[in-house]
Chains A and B, each alone.
Chain A
Amino acid sequence: MSDTHAASVPYVRDTMLPQNAPPSTAQGPVKWVRESLFSSIPYTILTLAALYVIYLILSGFLPWLLGGVWTTSNIRECREVLDGAQAGCFSVLTERWNQLLFGIAYPQDGYWRPTAAFVLLFVAVAPVLFGNLPRWLILFTVLYPFIAFWLIWGGSLFVPLSALLAALIGYVIYSRIVKKSFAGAFFAGLLAGGVAWVVFSFITPQLSGVLALEPVASRNMGGFMLNMILGVICVSLSLPLGILLALGRQSSLPIIKLICVVFIEFIRGVPLITLLFVANVVLAYFLPPGTNFDLILRVIIMITMFASAYIAEVIRGGLAALPRGQYEAADSLGLDYAQAMRLIILPQALKISIPGIVNVAVGLFKDTTLVSIISMFDLVGMIRGPILASTDWNGVYWELWGFAALLFFVVCYGISQYSQWLERQLQTDHH
């Protein structure tokens, strides 16, 4: 058959052609530019428009940033140095650096204390954030709240030390009983810790001068430090509270469910600013006459309640996303409610909820700027109040707002990038 065919075909190529390189327009950077920038006429117009926008922004922004003045001591000197040039007076940042970061009233020779607490914060959160670090580092995380409190608020070392001891006593009691009953152990531990704390509070005033840093009152906290304090404390407090609320909302006990639903929906229905008004002007009416605990603590309580309601909703989503079989499997193993939740349900539900929790945390950190409205001097409050109102720097807007925006951007963007990284790490399914 092949013979007859061969006779009818005059010429057949019997070797493969060598591969040719693709045309120069269909490979390398040229291809990329053609496909992703100039693939059609509308896209070309769009690209040119985008380039023009970028040019506009950079041509305004770069000279302002690069030609800026960093060393003058007030706005008039700065304007003289600039001599009419369109550039920034960044000297407001260098001159008011400490005010922007620590507020007005924090003792000047104590600036190293919040700075140290800030640096140690990274050491403390590292073992929580990165699972591949040695586990004993978590010990420092447990100690960190007490160290940070002592560093920032000052006073005798024995105050946080006695708190730590009380917590330790509570934990020992808890771990003794937890095998028998989780609820019993939890409340017994709480009670023992509380009793120990009350007992210690009779002793610590006698030791007030020992190993003491200069005490700083809460109302003297300010600047970006205040944002960080509020953010860190409220996020870490609202997480356990949010888990409890979410479990309560999913619970089969109608009264507990009702309490949780009303609380969550109420908090989520009102803006944070009204809750801050409550902290500022209303809360005092609901406390025993004569009690006067400071504004920062009231604000922490309110922001924590606010964030915990949102976190509860995120975790509820995680709980609802778990397949029914997980609950049934836990039941069929004979685990009671506390065990099933701790060992089976929550680890999985929390893993699903991580992106949502991080979103709430970022939102909460941004919302800490709202305290400037009830006249606390956080970073925004410092800029609006003491700095822009001073005769030295009245009129230097963009340098200050840009600085504030940059600080918040770095923190919030960093957190959200971390959460995306963590999501990839925690993926146990294979895509």
Chain B
Amino acid sequence: MTTMSDPQQGSFRLSMLLNDTRYRSYTFQFIALILLIALMAFLGINLVRNLAEAGLNISYGFLNVPAGYDINQSLIDYNSQSSNLRAAMVGIINTLLVAFLACITATILGVIAGVARLSKNWLVSKLMSVYVEIFRNIPVLIWILMIYTLMTAVLPAPNQFRGDNATSSMLFDAFAFTNRGIYIPAPVWGPGSMIVVATFILSIVATIIYRRYAVSLLFRTGKLLPMGWPTIAILLVPSILIFFIMGSPIALDYPELKGFNFRGGLQIGAPLIALWLALSVYTGAFIAENVRAGIQAISKGQTEAASSLGLRPKRVMNLVVLPQALRVIIPPLISQYLNITKNSSLAIAVGYADITATLGGITLNQTGRAIECVLLLMLFYLTISLSISAIMNVYNNSVSLKER
């Protein structure tokens, strides 16, 4: 705050610390700093005294001690003799896995619901409003528990698939929906399979190059190359050719009923499915609202102007409305992704081994290292949040309106 009067001449008086706007801000900040330091000191001294009283210390040695518990769903090698650190790594990977899966499905669901809610079809738009309102207004924890109940209490047990008069059967002989999870065929990577994968990656790169070339050709000369079928051809044909030339190195391992349970294939546990589905439908409802708001934020004049230039409806959407709507949609979308990551910590309610359930749950209870575990847990989530925020800021700066 500035004063219009000339600064007073003369000696410094103590009362000026409160009454003179030049010094008052320093006084306030100094008081705030002192209070903060006092609070920290109070907490720190208490911590030291409490730890001394309980005969504890702050140490991260427990991370190297064998964890001693099993984790049923793990993407990396893990057994009960692995260290607590390894268990935490499994948890981190599981958190990222479910967050990644849920982000994708929530986006698909949200975009469909958001667009359908603006549909001219009265029934569809009302149905989508009902979906959005129901899922937004009920806690995600209840959704997770409900879908988990659905997975474990309603789906048949594996032994119901057995025998001649089985009460349940597999879908296409490849998918089995049981109360222990869903079994799907697993890919088996034979020798030479890496060549197929490499070909596929090269095809993706080639597709991108082709599309870039087509666009630049269009802008330079006005010549329009076909986009649709060449993209698909470049993407698929070489990979399929190589696949058969190499003698079908990638096979599928189908789940089969052996004894009381399914063997082979890939088992996706009920907790993962419950968490994944619940986070998707819950966050999808929020994303639908963001998408709707984004599309509605584009003024009707834009659509009309594009139409009067002679663009067809699909191009109006692709070239005029969507690029502008995305600028409105993407920031809240990313913060929804952040919410998914944070809400995935509710995994502990259904026993999915994410970082909160391993490090903040079993490891914490077994070692009693509450402070260290919670600190590491917070640090992990904080790192993810801050890095996503940083990416979002870069994006926002790159798409924000460039004004003169």
- A residues sitting closer than 8 Å to B (CB atoms) are 32, 35-37, 39, 43, 46-47, 50-51, 53-54, 252-256, 259, 265-266, 268-274, 277-278, 281-282, 284-289, 331, 337, 362, 366-367, 369-370, 372-373, 380, 384, 395, 397-398, 401, 404-405, 408-409, 412-413, 416
Contact = CB atoms under 8 A, between A and B. Distances in A.
Given A46-B124, A252-B25, A254-B29, A269 B142 contact: no
27 contacts: A43-B121, A46-B119, A46-B123, A47-B124, A50-B121, A54-B127, A255-B32, A256-B28, A256-B29, A269-B378, A271-B342, A274-B345, A274-B374, A274-B378, A277-B360, A285-B47, A288-B49, A289-B49, A370-B141, A373-B141, A373-B349, A401-B142, A401-B149, A405-B138, A412-B136, A412-B137, A413-B133
Prevailing SS type, chain A contact patch: helix
A210 to B, nearest CB: 37
Contact of B377 (A51, A274, A331): A274
B137 A362 contact: yes
Contact of B51 (A46, A268, A285, A372): A285
Interface stretch (B62-70, B381-389, B394-402): B381-389
Prevailing SS type, chain B contact patch: helix
B123 A384 contact: no
Contacts of A37: 121-123
B348 to A, nearest CB: 6
Contacts of A254: 29
A401 B29 contact: no
B142 A331 contact: no
Given A380-B145, A412-B136, 18 more contacts: A47-B121, A47-B124, A271-B345, A271-B356, A274-B345, A274-B356, A274-B374, A277-B370, A281-B370, A286-B43, A289-B50, A366-B138, A370-B346, A373-B346, A397-B146, A398-B149, A404-B142, A416-B137
Given A288-B46, A408-B137, A397 B374 contact: no
Contacts of B49: 288-289
Contacts of A259: 32, 36
B171 interface: no
Contacts of B381: 269-271, 274
A266 B1 contact: no
A337 B360 contact: no
Contacts of A404: 142
B228 interface: no
A46 B119 CA distance: 11
B47 A273 contact: no
Given A273-B346, A372-B141, A287 B127 contact: no
A223 to B, nearest CB: 15
Contacts of B140: 366
B385 A268 contact: yes
B120 A412 contact: no
Contacts of A255: 29, 32-33
A269 B346 CA distance: 16
B385 A269 contact: yes
B343 interface: yes
A43 B381 CA distance: 44
A268 B149 CA distance: 31
A22 B46 CA distance: 84
A401 B146 contact: yes
Contacts of B142: 369, 380, 401, 404-405, 408
Given A253-B29, A256-B28, A281-B370, A286 B121 contact: no
B371 interface: yes
Given A36-B120, A36-B122, A269 B137 contact: no
Interface in B336-380: 342-343, 345-346, 348-349, 356, 360, 364, 370-371, 374, 377-378
Nearest to A277: B374
Nearest to A255: B29
Q: Which 9 A-B residue pairs are closest in the complex by CB-CB distance?
A: A269-B385, A412-B137, A36-B122, A366-B139, A271-B342, A281-B370, A271-B345, A269-B382, A255-B29
B355 to A, nearest CB: 10
B153 interface: yes
Interface in B133-176: 133-134, 136-142, 145-146, 149, 153
Given A269-B382, A274-B360, A285 B123 contact: no
Given A268-B385, A282-B370, A337 B138 contact: no
A281 B360 CA distance: 11
Contact of B127 (A53, A265, A270, A281): A53
Contact of A286 (B47, B136, B342): B47
B29 A282 contact: no
Contacts of B145: 380, 384, 401
A53 B116 CA distance: 15
Most A-side CB within 10 Å, residue of B25, B46, B141, B146: B141
Contacts of A35: 120
A265 B388 CA distance: 13
